[in-house]
Structure 1
Amino acid sequence: MTTPFPATAISPLRQRLIDDMRMRRFSEATQRNYIRDIGRFATFLGRPPDRATAEDLRRFQVEQRDAGMAAPTMNSIVSALRFFFTHTVDRPDLARKLVRVFHPRTLPVVLSRDEVARLLDATTCLKHQAALAVAYGAGLRVAEVSALKVRDIDSERMLIRVERGKGGEYRNALLPADLLFLLRQWWRVGQQQGVMHRDGWLFPGQHTMKPISTRQLHRIVVEAAQAAEIAKHVGPHTLRHSFATHLLEDGVDIRVIQTLLGHAKLENTAFYTKVATRTVRAVTSPLDKLGMLRTGVAPGG
């Protein structure tokens, strides 16, 4: 994997950080974020971050809070600094001084099955439809869709090999029969257009030597949702949320869903129980079992 940072004027400390991240197969986006966040701390410090003290970290976090920085952003910086102090400079004592900020987790936006069908039908070309169908049909993250290569489609075992999952993890994802049919259609069209090759990207970008960008995939979803007159605020991850929720509503074991999503913690998968409306509708309320309202029996009558 090529480093996303320029090869010139890199300090030994930054190079060590980059090497540590690459060794753990961090995505390029994660590498960029960690470099940015650690650089933000270094700017605040006014000296190399490996010379920081516990008091420096405390002042930095207090300043962030007072400046009104959003909790998710503050926690992202904590993750970057914890990695830096734990792995790059071997100062776990400082990593323990960093405090994550609690913030309530909002419920994810989930599309109904009808809305997913309308969204896919509203795409403007076969490549876009196939890419969004992969996101929903296999429950992949947007970066995982972007990174897929033609050889990752295993039609013999009906699996999609995800080689660049979150944290560099490898896993197998679902390959539904209808999705395979759509991908084969895209393969034929892509070959006719001269953009598809057996060793190439499954969804090439504007330049066939590079994959479609996550930014473009986000734009495709937004435009398709608008064309389908879906009022919800959607993005590529909405399709992954919908995949998990619909499986849960269909009675698929939550640990199976955890494996398919590539979640390290079951609690992340269990969060979808809060938006699985079909599961809620299947429950009979004790009030309905009384039968008093439908029969016209008044309380105490």
Structure 2
Amino acid sequence: MRRIISFKTIRYRLQAKIVLLKNSKGKKDRIVPLSPKILQMLREYYILYKPKTFLFEGQIKGNPYDARSLQVILKQAIAKVKIKKPVTLHWLRHSFATHLLESGTDLRYIQELLGHNSSKKTEIYTHVSTKSIQQIKSPFDDL
């Protein structure tokens, strides 16, 4: 059953700089931070395309954008910038988490954003990022 969200609620969320993702991975609702840069891009997109039901609609107005279409667009973008590694939409989720970790976001917040029930799942990102480790000051430096 689809819930209707009032425009008052949407305005509040935009002012709070958060986005509500409904039925995301694991069929869970999540909130994520909204970058002012992304907000500006979304406003321009909205003016240009004037979506009716979903923000990102498919070729048929009122229908959501198809996941397969997103995969095709990602593959085209990856080919355009000549990245040879295999890339998936899920890879973007890992990149998001890794960048948050490298910028100093607490692992507990990342766990909440990703919707992990266990901190063990989130801890896989700690071995990916070495940038944070390089910034740690050794106690030996004070000797």
Question: What TM-score do the two structures reach when normalised by structure 1?
Answer: 0.41
Q: Over residues 44-85 of structure 1, what are the superposed CA-to-partner deviations in whole Å (9 max), with x where a residue is unaligned?
A: xxxxxxxxxxxxxxxxxxxxxxxxxxxxxxxxxxxxxxxxxx
SS in 2 for 1:274: coil
Residue identity (%): 35
User: Aligned AA for 1:210?
Assistant: N
Residue 256 and residue 235 in structure 1: after superposition, are their counterparts in 2 closer, same or farther (change >3 A)? same
Counterpart contact for 1:152–1:161, Cα < 8 Å: no
Which of 97, 103, 108 in structure 2 is aligned with 1:250? 103
- Contact 1:165/1:262 (<8 A) preserved: no
Partner of 1:173: 32
Report the structure, 1 or 2, having the larger strand content: 2
| Distance (Å, rounded) in 2 between the aligned partners of 1:184 and 1:231 | 33
- Identify unmatched segments of 5+ residues in structure 2: none
The CA deviation at 1:283 is: 5.3
The structure whose residues are more often helix, as a share, is: 1
User: What pairs with 1:125-204 in structure 2 (closer than 5 Å)?
Assistant: 154-191=13-50, 196-197=51-52, 200-204=53-57
Q: CA deviation at 1:163?
A: 2.1
| Aligned residue-pair number | 133
Q: Match of 2:64, SS?
A: coil
**C-alpha contact (below 8 Å) 1:152/1:162 kept by paired residues:** no
Q: In the TM superposition, what whole-angstrom CA distance separates every residue of 1:185-213 from its partner, at most 9, and x where no partner exists?
A: 1001112xxxx12xx11110111221111
SS state at 1:172 partner: strand
Tell me the equivalent position of 2:81. 228
- State the alpha-carbon separation in 2 of the partners of residues 252 and 166 from structure 1: 21
**5+ long unaligned stretches in structure 1:** 3-149, 290-301
Structure with the greater relative contact order (CA < 8 A, sep ≥ 6): 1 or 2?
Answer: 1
Cα distance between partner residues in 1 of 2:21 and 2:117: 15
Q: Distance in 2 between matches of 1:231 and 1:280?
A: 28
TM superposition shift of 1:237: 1.4
**TM-score, with length taken from structure 2:** 0.81
Matched, 1:271 2:130: no
